[in-house]
């Protein structure tokens, strides 16, 4: 396999020769039999440092983009092994730089109440530090620091960390897998100090957001990530109920529907039925008149589920999907479009009632592509 070499990481190293040595080591790691990676690393101790970890992770990210998931996951595992040697990887000066950045970003998150306009410039200036080394530092710092604080102070600090996790998960720069992993660690730290009795709303929101992060996680086992997301959503729904927290209850059900639809394990037909049930639950709260955006997003996801539905009659499922898409398009037209002549022609073509299954499938295709055009950003889980 020819490894993708990224010029964007050359700034990490002054020595081009050392960079090429890293790539050769990575090639050796991917070429060796499974289980022999530690032996390869043992004879290359002179190359093991934080820069190597970052080059490994960048290479893994590039492989993911190319669809090479197996070698990418193998490199992620190697990086995790090296991070187990955390104390040996970081010089005292480098460790202090990371620690100063961590303390600065948490203080700024607290002072600004998590304002992205305040936080994101600092993150942008330090994207090179948003990596598994930072994630490990966050975990270790929280373990040693929060456990020595009075409980009320530790709980307050954990809420700040959870707020930071929301920000890093939605941060558009840096490497997305790293940002998500940092966010997951932050949520898990917060949940170690919060409980659903003393902090029910914050605990449930953190569980929901942890689910969103696991669903979005790029590295690791996709099936296990989705199962972790579903488990987190159900935990949040132990606190949220329709009467006292209707909006959060609906948002978590919407997220649960997306996770069930994407679920890899269990029976596919049952998963789709669970997704449909979750979307209908969300629609008990979302109203077309008072919450048109949320209503349309949920209806759109419901239409997709009916298109893929295995249970019941296929033709009736498609008819339901067509009716749903038409309703969604009506709402999006009202929300976003000043319909000109071209859009009116498109809309007229979508009002024809299909008479055959093939015609229905073509109409589904037209409706879905038009909805995608309006959605622009696609389906997104909801952060609370």
For the segment 122-137, the average pLDDT, to the nearest whole number, is 90
Q: Which domains are seen in the chain, by residue range?
A: 7-89 (no CATH), 90-194 (no CATH), 222-384 (1.25.40)
Q: What is the DSSP string of 170-203?
A: H--SS-HHHHHHHHHHHHHHHHHH--TTTSHHHH
**pLDDT, greater one: 319 or 357:** 319
pTM of the full structure: 0.76
The string of DSSP letters for 100-151 reads: HHHHHHHHHHHHHTS-HHHHHHHHHHTGGG-SHHHHHHHHHHHHHHGGGS-H
In the block, residue with structure tokens 């730089």:
97
Q: Which residues of 231-263 are buried (b: 16+ CB within 10 A; e: fewer)?
A: ebbebbbebbeeeebeebbbbbbbbbbbbbbbb
| pLDDT value for 354 | 39
d(CA 103, CA 202): 22
Contact residues for 73 (Cβ-Cβ < 8 A; gap 6+)? 60, 219, 220
| Cα–Cα distance, 36 to 44 (Å, whole number) | 13
pLDDT, residue 367, reads 56
Instruction: Read off the pLDDT of residues 179-236 as tens digits, 9 standing for 90 and up.
Output: 999 999 999 999 999 999 999 999 999 999 999 999 999 877 899 999 999 999 999 9
Residue-wise pLDDT for 242-261, tens only, equals 999 999 999 999 999 999 99
Give the residue, 25 or 90, on which the prediction is more confident: 25
Mean pLDDT (the chain, rounded)? 84
Under the banding of pLDDT at 50, 70 and 90, the label for residue 380 is low
Q: What is the pLDDT of residue 344?
A: 44
Q: For residues 326 and 246, which has the higher predicted lDDT (pLDDT)?
A: 246
pLDDT at residue 268 tops 70: yes
* Residues 164 and 186: beta-carbon distance below 8 Å: yes
Contact 88/136 with Cβ under 8 angstroms? no
């Amino acid at each position: 396999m020819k490894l993708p070499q990224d010029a964007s990481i050359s700034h990490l190293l002054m020595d081009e020769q050392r960079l090429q040595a890293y790539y050769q080591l990575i090639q050796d790691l991917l070429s060796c039999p499974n289980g022999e990676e530690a032996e390869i690393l043992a004879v290359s101790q002179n190359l093991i440092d934080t820069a190597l970890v970052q080059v490994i992770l960048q290479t893994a990210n590039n492989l993911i983009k190319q669809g090479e998931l197996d070698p990418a996951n193998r490199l992620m595992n190697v990086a995790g092994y090296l991070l187990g040697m955390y104390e040996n990887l970081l010089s005292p000066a480098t460790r202090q730089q990371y620690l100063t950045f961590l303390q600065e970003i948490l203080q700024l998150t607290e002072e600004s109440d998590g304002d992205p306009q305040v936080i994101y410039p600092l993150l942008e200036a330090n994207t090179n530090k948003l990596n598994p080394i930072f994630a490990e530092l966050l975990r270790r710092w929280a373990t040693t620091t929060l456990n020595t604080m009075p409980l009320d102070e530790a709980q307050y600090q954990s809420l700040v960390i959870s707020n930071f996790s929301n920000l890093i998960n939605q941060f558009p720069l840096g490497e997305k897998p790293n940002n998500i992993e940092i966010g997951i660690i932050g949520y898990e730290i917060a949940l170690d100090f919060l409980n659903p009795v003393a902090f029910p709303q914050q605990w449930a929101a953190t569980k929901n957001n942890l689910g969103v992060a696991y669903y979005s996680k790029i590295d690791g086992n996709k099936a296990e990530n989705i199962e972790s997301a579903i488990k987190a959503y159900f935990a949040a729904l132990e606190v949220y109920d329709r009467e006292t927290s209707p909006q959060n209850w609906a948002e978590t059900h919407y997220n649960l529907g997306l996770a069930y639809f994407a679920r890899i394990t269990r029976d596919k037909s049952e998963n789709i039925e669970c997704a449909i049930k979750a979307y209908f639950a969300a629609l008990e709260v979302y109203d077309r008149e008072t919450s048109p955006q949320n209503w349309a997003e949920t209806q759109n996801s419901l239409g997709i589920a009916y298109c893929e539905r295995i249970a019941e009659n296929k033709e009736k499922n498609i008819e339901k999907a067509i009716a749903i898409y038409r309703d969604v398009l009506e709402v999006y037209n009202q929300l976003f479009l000043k319909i000109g002549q071209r859009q009116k022609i498109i809309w007229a073509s979508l009002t024809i009632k299909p008479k055959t299954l093939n015609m229905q499938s073509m109409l589904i295709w037209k409706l879905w592509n038009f909805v995608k055009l309006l959605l622009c950003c696609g389906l997104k889980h909801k952060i609370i």
